[in-house]
Chains A and B, each alone.
Chain A
C-alpha cells in the first residue's frame, strides 16, 4: 500500500512536471462526437475538386503563356484573338481555383499574385516605360496577374485594331510585349509550382483531419469564407458603392476591360457552392453540407430561423443569391452605372449568405475564423 502511494506520488510529480511545460494540443483524428468522417470529406474534396481545379488552371496558364509567346514574337490580329480567348478561359477557371489559399498556394501567395484588382494602370505603364519589372515588390501586386493582363489585352485601345497597334507601331511596343510575356510566364510558373506542390501535399491535407486552427477542415472553411467575402465585396459591393455611401466605382469590378465581370462572379459563386456540396461534375460526394447535417443531428443543436436546419438555410440562400446575380447583365460596370439598385439588391442577398457561412456554419462545426477584418485603425 505504502509502495503504491509512493509510486503514485512520484508519477504525479512527474506528470505535474511534464504537464507544466507541455502545450495543450488536439489530436488530429478524423472522428469527433458527431461521427462524421472528415477524412473521407477531405479525400473527396481534394481528389475531385481541388486537384482537378489546379490541373485545369495550370493547363490554361500554359496555353495562355504559349499564346502570348506566339503573339509577342509576331503580333497580328488573329494571334491577339487567340491570346484573348486563352486569357478568358484562364480567368474563368481561376474562379474555381482561387479558394484554396493554404498549403502550396499559401506558400506562393497565389491569390494576390494572380488576381489583385482593380489593377493599377499607372504602375503598369511606369513599369513598361522604364522596362523594369520586379515581381517580388508588393507594390507590383496590383500591376501583375490576370487583372493586369485584362488591361493589356483588352484595355489599351478602343478596339482590337487599336490594341494591336500598342504591340506593333507604338513607341513602347517592345517594352509592352516584354511586360506581357513576363506576366504570362509568372502566372504559368506559379500555377505549375502549386500544382506540383499538391502532389505531396494531398496526403498532408487528408490526414490533418481535426478541426483545430491548423487542420485542413479549419483552413478550407476559413478560406472558403474569406474568398466568399472577396466575391461579395470586391466583385460586387465595393464597385456598387456599398462602402462609400452610394458613390459607385464601376471600374473596380473584376475583369473590367474584358467585360465578363458578372459571368466570372456567377462561376465563382457556383464553384463555392460545389465545394460546400462536395460536388464535382454530376457527382455529389461528401462536402460541408453532409458534415453540417451530421453535426446538427445531435441533440440540442440550434435550428435556424423558422425551424429549418443550417444546411437548408445555406442551400436556399445559395439559390437566392445566384438568382439575384442572374437578373444582372454584363458588362457589370455598366449595370452599376445605370441600375445600381439592382446590383446592391444582389449584394444584400450575398451578404445574407456571408452571415450563414461565417457565423452559423462555423459555429455549428466548431471552426474558428482566424483571419482578421481590417478595423481601419
Chain B
C-alpha cells in the first residue's frame, strides 16, 4: 500500500468550553513534539503530494550499469577462489578491473563498454592492484601451509574443507579486497551521489533517456547497494551482493535494511516530485548510514572472530574481514571519522594477525562501537 504524505492537521482551538482540557491536550502535543524533535519540519503549505511506493519500481528507473559492475566483481571474486589451490590468476583479475582483453565469462560484460576501476575512489585504484598482488603472493606459496611468518594456504580446524590463502602476517587479501571494494566502489559511489543530490549539483530538469540526471544517479546508487527491488521483503532473488548482503547480516543490531530502503524509496519519489527538502533529507540519511555500516560490518566480524577464536586460520580470515571494513572507511569522501580517529582504529590491529590477543580484540570492538554509536549492541551485531 502506498504511503501518502499528509498535511498537518489543524487543531480547533475556538472551543472555549473545555479550556483546561485544551491546555492538557497541548501538554500531550508538547510531549509528542519532543518525541519527534529530531525530525526536521521544513514542510511548507506548498509541499507537493505524491505516492511513495513500497518497492523500487519507479517506471523510469534504470541502474543496469551498476548491476553489470557488481556482476564483474562477482567474476573477480570467483577467480580469487582459485587462490586456495595456488592458481590465482592476478593478471586476469587486473584485466577484469579495467575490462581489457575480454576477460569475463559473461560476454555481455566484455562488450558493455563499462569498467570497475574508473568508478573506484582515487585511493582504491592503486590499493585494489596491491591487494590482488598480495593475494597472488600468498596463493603462489601453495601447497605450503600458512603459519606465522610463512605465507601459504591453511584450513579451518572446525571445517577442514574451508581453506584460506594467508600472508605470513595472517592477512587474507581476498577478504581485504572484497571489503575494500565495498568501501572503494560502493560506499564511494553512493556517498558521492548522495552528496551531489544533497547539494543539488545534479540536474533534475532535463530528461535524458527517460530520466533526469538526478533520478539516474539516484538509481545507480540504489543499484550499487545490490538488493532486489522488493527488498527487504525479498532477501534472496536476485541474491544480494556486497553491502546488500551485509546490511542484512548487521540487521540484528543496526536496522540498515529498513533505514536505507525507506530512504531510497522516499528520496527517489521526492526527486521526481521536485520535493527538494525531502530528497536532500533522504540523501543525508543515506550518507550517514553508509559510514555507520562500516562500523557495523567490522563489529559483525568481531562477533564471527569470537565464534572462531580457537580456529587460528579461520580467525585470521575473520580478522582480515574486520580489518577490511575499517581500512576502507578512508574511501568515503564525506566521512565524519577524522584521520586521527581512523588511524587510532587501524593501530588497534597488530601488525601480524597471529599476534592478536583477546584484550586487543575487545579493545578494537569497544573503540569501533564507541566511534559509530553501537555500544549497546556491540556483541549483537
Contacts and interface: CB of A to CB of B under 8 A. Distances in A.
- Report, nearest first, the 7 A-B pairs whose CB atoms are least far apart: A9-B24, A116-B310, A112-B310, A13-B31, A136-B357, A141-B310, A139-B354
Nearest to A373: B307
A34 interface: no
B303 interface: yes
Q: Main SS of chain A's interface residues?
A: helix
Given A139-B312, A374-B308, A376-B162, 15 more contacts: A2-B21, A5-B21, A9-B28, A10-B24, A10-B27, A14-B31, A16-B35, A109-B309, A112-B310, A116-B310, A138-B312, A142-B310, A233-B158, A252-B160, A374-B314
Which of B27, B157, B161, B355: most chain A Cβ within 10 A? B157
A186 interface: no
Given A6-B20, A9-B21, A137 B160 contact: no
Contacts of A142: 157, 310, 312
B161 A244 contact: yes
Interface in B114-148: 147-148
Contacts of A244: 160-161
B359 A118 contact: no
Q: Size class of A's contact patch? A: 35 or more
Contact of B30 (A13, A141, A247, A252): A13
A305 interface: no
A137 B31 contact: no
A137 B357 contact: yes
Q: Main SS of chain B's interface residues?
A: helix
A199 interface: no
B367 interface: no
Nearest to B376: A23
Contacts of B310: 112, 116, 138, 141-142
Interface in B295-329: 303-304, 307-310, 312, 314-315
A51 to B, nearest CB: 26
Contact of B159 (A3, A12, A374): A374
Contact of B307 (A5, A139, A247, A372): A372
Interface string A101-132: 00000000100100010101011001000000
B358 interface: yes
Interface of A: 2-3, 5-6, 9-10, 12-14, 16-17, 20, 109, 112, 116, 118, 120, 122-123, 126, 136-139, 141-142, 233-234, 238, 243-245, 247, 249, 252, 371-372, 374, 376-377
Given A2-B21, A5-B21, A137 B147 contact: no
B340 interface: no
Contacts of A3: 20
B141 to A, nearest CB: 16
B361 interface: yes
B25 interface: yes
Contacts of B147: 122-123
B334 to A, nearest CB: 29
A245 B160 CA distance: 11
Nearest to B145: A122
